[in-house]
Amino acid sequence: MILFRATIPFPADVDLSRVFFWTLITVTTAAFPVKLPGGVVAHITTAPIIAAVFDSQLANPFAVCWIALLGTTELRDVRGEVAWYGTLYNRFAYVLAAFAAWLVFNFVQPALRADIAFSTVALIVLVGLAFSVTNMFLAVAAASLRTNSPMARIWALSVSNTLFGTIALVFLGWLMAEVATKVGLWASVLFMVPLLLARYSFTKYAETRAMFLGTVSALSQAIDAKDGFTRGHADRVSRIAGAIAREMGLSERNIEEIELAGMLHDIGKIGVEDQILMKPARLDPHEQELMRRHPIYGASILKPSESLRPLVPLVLHHHENFDGSGYPEGRKGDDIPLGSRIIIVADAYEAMTSDRIYRKAIGHERAMDQLNRYKGIQFDPKVVRALGTLIEKHGAAAFEVSELPQINYETLAELRKRLAREPLARDAHAG
């Protein structure tokens, strides 16, 4: 409707070549999308669209609406990699955002005095906000519906970390319009260089994050592989702990920390001798003593890494009991980090509900009974209650929402058995 209203009747003073120029610049920038974690695709098209809003020689809102509609078409739309309704949704999300930006521009500009620098900055900020908030809200809502995860999570994963980049794009857009009207259209083409640089930093963020999560997941598989009984255990603990943390209303940043610590909570088992770790019988008191050092080993493994350091207290205290009877420090109640209190519950629940070589899983209800029996003793009652609510609300599917890569590898023990049956080819020549 907005597009229709902006086009009919056809505005009298349209310089179509100018509209075409900005569309061309926008299309060029749209050719470099960045897929952010969380499923939102980021664009540097913000800059030329904002430029079109500020370009006084364009017949707006006709121009911005059409530039936003045509200019944001991407290769994946043309190739048919996006469903038709997805393409339509994305195009009109941009038209709406561009129109919102123009509306704000049109209302605010007459009220401001152009000779005061501050008012120009305020105008840019307001126009940028109108565009970004509309556009991001529509993108996050779509990603949230598509991936069936909460909007707050998508926001934290994709938008919050690129906010500064977006602000830079808005100012760059205003500058492009200034240069285009005062120097000439050709000069604004020069802005492609900083635009592509901005895009590079977006990509780096996404890549670095993927690499970090990949490394954490590889580390976690190393423990699962060594600790033959617990295939995929750490991964499940991480998902359960993350879901409990979300249910308890923690911030996305804390939730992610708890998920990562859940993934790595038993990393210290690398330091425990194989005979103890893989012993099929009950451990004697001395062996138990050695086994109980694994949280300390874990903390010392994580400490040297700057990005893993926040997880150190969570890993160190994941065997502290609520009544102070746990290890390594015998901490009590609220002195135990909340993340550790969550991980110990997730750890116990996962162990009870998954099959092990030596026993079958017990059901969710019996597992919850056990947790309830030991709440206040081993477990924080608040955490057990949160897990109970979570299971009541969503069933076991409550644990499937996570950004962490899925792990489904055979354990080292299984690999050893398999390779023992099928000798490696080079063994045949070994003599």
| Interacting residues with Fe ion (CB under 5 A) | 266
Please give the structure tokens belonging to residue 47. Answer: 């800059």
**Smallest distance from the beta carbon of 319 to Fe ion, in angstroms?**
6
For Fe ion, the closer CB: 128 or 262: 262
For Fe ion, the closer CB: 55 or 266: 266
Q: Measured between alpha carbons, how far apart are the two ends of the chain, in Å?
A: 80
Please give the structure tokens belonging to residue 281. Answer: 């019988």
What's the rounded Cα separation, in Å, for the pair 367 and 113?
A: 68
For Fe ion, the closer CB: 266 or 350: 266
> Is residue 420 a contact partner of residue 240, using CB atoms and an 8 Å limit?
no
**Smallest distance from the beta carbon of 30 to Fe ion, in angstroms?**
49
For Fe ion, the closer CB: 153 or 317: 317
For Fe ion, the closer CB: 256 or 266: 266
Q: Where are the alpha helices (DSSP H) in 292-363?
A: 294-302, 312-316, 338-353
Residue entry with tokens 């205290």: 317
Q: What is the DSSP letter of 408?
A: -
Reference 75, options 36, 41, 47; nearest CA is: 41
> Is residue 351 a contact partner of residue 236, using CB atoms and an 8 Å limit?
no
**Smallest distance from the beta carbon of 286 to Fe ion, in angstroms?**
18
For Fe ion, the closer CB: 259 or 266: 266
**Smallest distance from the beta carbon of 161 to Fe ion, in angstroms?**
31
**Smallest distance from the beta carbon of 390 to Fe ion, in angstroms?**
22
> Is residue 402 a contact partner of residue 234, using CB atoms and an 8 Å limit?
no
**Smallest distance from the beta carbon of 291 to Fe ion, in angstroms?**
9
Q: Count Cα neighbours of 339 within 13 Å in the Cβ-side half-sphere.
A: 25
Residue type, 115: D
Q: 9-18 contacts: CB < 8 A, separation 24 or more?
A: 10/62, 11/59, 11/62, 12/59, 13/59, 14/59, 14/62, 14/63, 15/57, 15/58, 15/59, 18/55, 18/57, 18/58, 18/63, 18/185
Residue nearest to Fe ion (CB): 266
**Smallest distance from the beta carbon of 191 to Fe ion, in angstroms?**
54
**Smallest distance from the beta carbon of 265 to Fe ion, in angstroms?**
6
